[in-house]
Amino acid sequence: MKLIGNRILAEIIPSENKTKGGIIIPEKINLEKNRGEIVLVGPAVKDYYVGQIVQFDPNTAVYDTVRGTECVFLKEDRDIVLLISN
């Protein structure tokens, strides 16, 4: 697969239901649900590379299943909110 422009393909990292002091935090508000590991970058991407974990905006990202894995297509300048690890 080859991406064009400033597009990024990230594999969604599954979230776990968490408890805090006996209170279950619903998955709907669990921000870890919006994390992914970058698996492919387009030629115009400058600041991100394969292997980084990012948090993305779920309202603007494009979700799809690629080879049986839940993934998300992102734009470098619009969809990534936070770089979690290098």
Q: What CA–CA distance (Å, rounded) separates 24 from 43?
A: 42
- CATH assignment at residue 55: 2.30.33
Asked if residue 31 belongs to a domain, the reply is: yes
Convert the pLDDT of each residue in 10-38 to its tens digit. 999 986 655 556 666 555 555 556 899 99
Q: What CA–CA distance (Å, rounded) separates 34 from 78?
A: 15
Residues 6+ apart with CB under 8 A from 77: 6
Convert the pLDDT of each residue in 37-68 to its tens digit. 999 999 999 999 999 999 999 888 999 999 99
Q: What CA–CA distance (Å, rounded) separates 83 from 73?
A: 16
pTM of the model: 0.78
- How many domains are there within the chain? 1
Instruction: Map residue 28 onto helix, strand or coil.
Output: helix
Asked if residue 39 belongs to a domain, the reply is: yes
Asked if residue 20 belongs to a domain, the reply is: no
Asked if residue 46 belongs to a domain, the reply is: yes
- Full residue range of the structural domain in which residue 43 is found: 7-14+25-85
Task: Give the model's pLDDT for residue 21.
Answer: 62
Asked if residue 2 belongs to a domain, the reply is: no
Number of Cβ within 10 Å of residue 7's Cβ equals 19
User: Is residue 71's pLDDT more than 80?
Assistant: yes
By CB atoms closer than 10 A (0-12, 13-18, 19+), residue 53 is: middle
Mean pLDDT of the region 68-84: 92
Asked if residue 30 belongs to a domain, the reply is: yes
